[in-house]
Amino acid sequence: MRRSRQPATPHSFLNAERIHIPMQRAETADTPHSLPPQIEHVASCSLPTAWASFQLHAFVEKNTGKEHLAMVLGDVGSGEPVLARLHSECLTGDALFSQRCDCGEQLENAMRRIAEEGRGVLLYLRQEGRGIGLINKIRAYQLQESGVDTVEANHHLGFADDLRNYAVCKPMLAHFGIRSLKLMTNNPRKLDSMKRLDIQAERVEHVVTSNPFNAEYLAAKASKLGHLLTSANPHAPADDGVNS
């Protein structure tokens, strides 16, 4: 039988660690005071995977020191639209196989689809937890186990819904001569960001099958963040009450 969960109060959420963080607002590519990031391409190597052998490129943001990756396959500088994925880092989903989110499956599916196309690019952006960082994401998971959703957890921790900034994508894509994307995404904010950056982007649906552990997380992304997930196969939340 499913255990009932009583919503916890903000005080009980934060009592143990006494976290007091001023609300951080999202800075998108068109935020007036945002400066275009300065990117340095530092190295590249081959990256053989189960799907194809990609060329892996390492970039560093000069002003923040953040490190980003680009996985490239085939000739992407011809001027034709390039199949692409802008993937924000998710250590728990990408590397630890967590089922609390859909990130790992989206990453694998993007690599597979690029391999099938024979041409494409995947930008791996160091924006863990929609920009709040790994430790704060774990804090958010703890709050979610008390009954709030992924957006509400951000707010309880003092963060906006989504702190990711896609401005870094422009100089990374320009490095390869990419001006037009067939963008694998369910997030309209990514499409809006590309438009503000003067990068042509046509959406390619990238919905993966939900599971009992991420059904509520995906529902919150659809209802509160506007993600286009209508073709997902919903599951009931798990009996143990663990949801993200």
Neighbours of 31 (CB within 10 A): 13
Catalytic entry in 162, 192, 203, 240: 162
| 75 is annotated as an active-site residue | no
Structure tokens at 68: 């980003």
Structure tokens at 64: 């923040």
Catalytic entry in 3, 94, 164, 179: 164
Residue corresponding to tokens 């068109």:
30
| 164 is annotated as an active-site residue | yes
Kindly list the catalytic residues: 162, 164
